[in-house]
Homo-oligomer: A and B are copies of this chain.
């Protein structure tokens, strides 16, 4: 199966590499990173470049298309070639998935109208503006559309998707291969568990602030 991951300027690195690490290990997977123009695409911090190996125009079909988030998402909310490309690949995809604010781009392209989806916790309010039913869960599936919450949630989403595609045994083998037995040193990964001053600090300084 062909897995196409879309890059754009100022995406968040882990949004891409979490799902990549899992989905690229599916048997027979051909994983291709694409962007409007081929070549290096820089993340939100500017410190990391990932290579887009093809342009959007070169890859017009995908079994699974993955849209990451990141501050660059804000530049992709209007009509244009990215929306056109997303509608085209979505028309033939088996799975159209997002991580973090990637769901906002899918929503702006008109692909999630009336559907349930999630996004980064701090961007949740924006989903409804695009006719999406916001759901505060780590991974939300509605038909072939699967959305993950913020950044690291793409790993959980991809493992679940790998299980749907190739079975639980395979997905568990990937989980063990990447030793995904998380032990966060803090309990601050959700606004419900993080100390209030952490939530406040993040919202004040954040790219995610609404």
| Chain A residues with a Cβ under 8 A of chain B | 12-14, 16-18, 20-21, 24-25, 29-33, 40, 45, 47-51, 53, 100, 120-121, 138-139, 149-153, 155-156, 159-160, 163, 168-169, 171-173, 175-186, 188-191, 193-195, 197-199, 201-202, 206, 208
- Cα-based distance from A150 to B201 in the complex (angstroms): 31
Listed by A's residue number, 26 A-B pairs whose Cβ atoms lie within 8 Å are A12-B178, A13-B20, A13-B21, A14-B20, A25-B45, A31-B45, A33-B48, A40-B51, A48-B50, A48-B51, A49-B51, A139-B183, A149-B179, A151-B177, A152-B155, A152-B179, A152-B180, A153-B179, A155-B184, A159-B186, A169-B197, A169-B201, A175-B194, A176-B191, A176-B202, A180-B184
Total copies of this chain within the assembly: 2
- Cα-based distance from A49 to B49 in the complex (angstroms): 9
**Chain B residues within an 8 Å CB radius of A49:** 33, 50-51, 53
Instruction: Return A34 CB to nearest CB of chain B, in Å.
Output: 12
Is A188 within 8 A of B202, CB to CB?
no
Is B189 within 8 A of A182, CB to CB?
yes
**Chain B residues within an 8 Å CB radius of A29:** 47
